[in-house]
């Protein structure tokens, strides 16, 4: 599967980056104690994130995944108003404060399902069965948040 082709077909003005260094992916896995899904690893083999022309993170860089997930999980204000985030690995944003994530269950990402987190009401809900469908449906406007 060619991730860049899937994205460019639906958003020709996407901005791609060089592939992610393997040690950055290993660092994410070590930091969160999980194995990244193959879909995400394969994606990072092609590009270390992709944005639209306005800078929206269609898929965050590996560095942003690590830093934003750490920040969200360790934010003392968030811990007072939101459920814990250790069951999600965020990898993209909707541009409105809502985020897209893989579900982490007992320190494992067991399925390809993608979920969204609503920053206003702290709801977490299924949006697609895979990263490929996330990219297709999100870029085609079929996901509404």
Find the domain containing 45 and state its range. Answer: 3-139
Residue 110 belongs to a domain: yes
Residue 53 CB contacts under 8 Å (≥ 6 apart), including other chains: 13, 14, 15
Give me the residue label for tokens 């206003």.
120
Total domains present in the chain: 1
Residue 144 belongs to a domain: no
pLDDT in tens, 38-66: 999 999 999 999 999 888 899 999 999 99
pLDDT value, residue 1: 57
Report pTM. Answer: 0.95
CA dihedral over 50, 15, 42, 134, signed as positive or negative: positive
13 contacts 52 by C-beta, under 8 angstroms? yes
Residue 145 belongs to a domain: no
What CATH number did the domain enclosing 12 receive? 3.40.1580.10
Query: Can you give the three-state secondary structure of the chain, one letter per residue?
Result: CCHHHHHHHHCCCCEECCCCCHHHHHHHHHHHCCCCCHHHHHHHHHCCCEECCCCCEEECCHHHHHHHHHHHHHCHHHHHHCCCCCCEEEEEECCCCCEEEEECECCECCCCCEEEECCCCCCEEEEECCHHHHHHHHHCCCCCC
For the chain, list residues with pLDDT below 50.
none
pLDDT value, residue 21: 93
Residue 98 belongs to a domain: yes
């Amino acid at each position: 599967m060619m991730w860049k082709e899937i994205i460019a077909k639906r958003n020709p003005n996407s901005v791609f980056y060089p592939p992610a260094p393997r040690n950055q992916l290993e660092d994410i896995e070590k930091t969160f104690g999980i194995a990244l899904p193959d879909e995400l690893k394969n994606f990072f083999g092609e590009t270390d994130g992709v944005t639209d022309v306005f800078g929206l993170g269609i898929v965050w860089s590996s560095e942003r995944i690590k830093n934003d997930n750490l920040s969200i999980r360790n934010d003392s204000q968030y811990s007072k108003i939101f459920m814990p985030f250790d069951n999600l690995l965020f990898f993209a944003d909707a541009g409105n404060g809502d985020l897209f994530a893989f579900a982490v269950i007992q320190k494992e990402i067991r399925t390809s399902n993608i979920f969204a987190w609503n920053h206003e009401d702290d709801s977490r809900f299924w949006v697609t069965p895979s990263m490929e469908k996330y990219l297709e449906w999100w870029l085609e406007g079929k996901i509404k948040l």
